[in-house]
């Protein structure tokens, strides 16, 4: 271990809970959240929430759609996805278990993080499906697990079926995400 590594602080959720401002915690390292998203990003995120909520009601699934809530992944990692589907209902405070579905809407400041670190994090910490929504070209990339638990990437368009929680099947038209 280099001398520099010995002096790099390693923070925990306990530290994180006392911070002011908007932060995420990645493997013990604080990461500043970018300023609030612009209008198109927020409009897309709101449409995603609406479409997922509508699909949950239609399916009779007992999942909940949550917007910009902290997911405590481990004692050293906390992230705040744009949208997630919790199979455990509405938490009292933070999400504690892996979401069945996570959605990130790309922005100029989060694009690299969402496509690299977060994709790996969501894969490694057992998120069922990860949707990456790109407002620049109105496209979606979807990462899902196959029956052997392998992580696969597709680019869905139009109507798709999502299976965030057990036998819950949600039918969503991806075209409705974009204003």
**CATH code for the domain in which residue 72 is found:** 3.90.1570.10
pLDDT at 29: 87
For residue 110, the 8-state DSSP code is T
| pLDDT one-digit tens code per residue, 39-51 | 888 999 999 999 9
| pLDDT one-digit tens code per residue, 50-99 | 999 999 999 999 999 999 999 999 999 999 999 999 999 899 999 999 99
Let me know if residue 98 belongs to a domain. yes
Let me know if residue 56 belongs to a domain. yes
For residue 96, the 8-state DSSP code is -
Let me know if residue 21 belongs to a domain. no
pLDDT averaged over the chain?
91
Let me know if residue 25 belongs to a domain. no
Q: Please, what's the largest Cα pairwise distance for the chain?
A: 57
pLDDT at 36: 66
Q: Which of 42, 1, 9 is nearest to 25 (CA)?
A: 9
pLDDT at 89: 87
Q: Which of 96, 105, 93 is nearest to 78 (CA)?
A: 96
Let me know if residue 92 belongs to a domain. yes
How many domains does the chain fold into? 1
Strand partners, 154: 142
How would you label 27-46 residue by residue, b for 16+ Cβ within 10 Å and e otherwise?
ebeeeeeeeebeeebebbbe
Let me know if residue 1 belongs to a domain. no
């Amino acid at each position: 271990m280099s001398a520099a590594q010995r002096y790099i602080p390693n923070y925990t959720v306990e530290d994180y809970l006392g911070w002011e401002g908007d932060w995420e915690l990645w493997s013990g390292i604080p990461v500043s959240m970018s300023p609030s998203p612009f209008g198109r990003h927020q409009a897309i995120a709101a449409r995603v929430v609406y479409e997922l909520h509508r699909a949950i009601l239609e399916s009779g699934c007992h999942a909940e759609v949550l917007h910009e809530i902290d997911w405590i992944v481990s004692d050293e990692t906390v992230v705040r996805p744009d949208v997630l589907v919790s199979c455990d209902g509405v938490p009292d405070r933070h999400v504690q278990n892996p979401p069945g579905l996570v959605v990130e809407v790309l922005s100029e400041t989060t694009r690299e993080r969402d496509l690299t670190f977060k994709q790996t994090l969501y894969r490694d910490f057992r998120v069922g499906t990860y949707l990456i929504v790109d407002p620049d070209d109105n496209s979606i990339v979807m990462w899902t697990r196959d029956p052997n638990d392998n992580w696969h990437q597709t680019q869905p368009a139009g109507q798709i079926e999502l299976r965030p929680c057990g036998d819950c099947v949600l039918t969503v038209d991806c075209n409705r995400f974009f204003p």
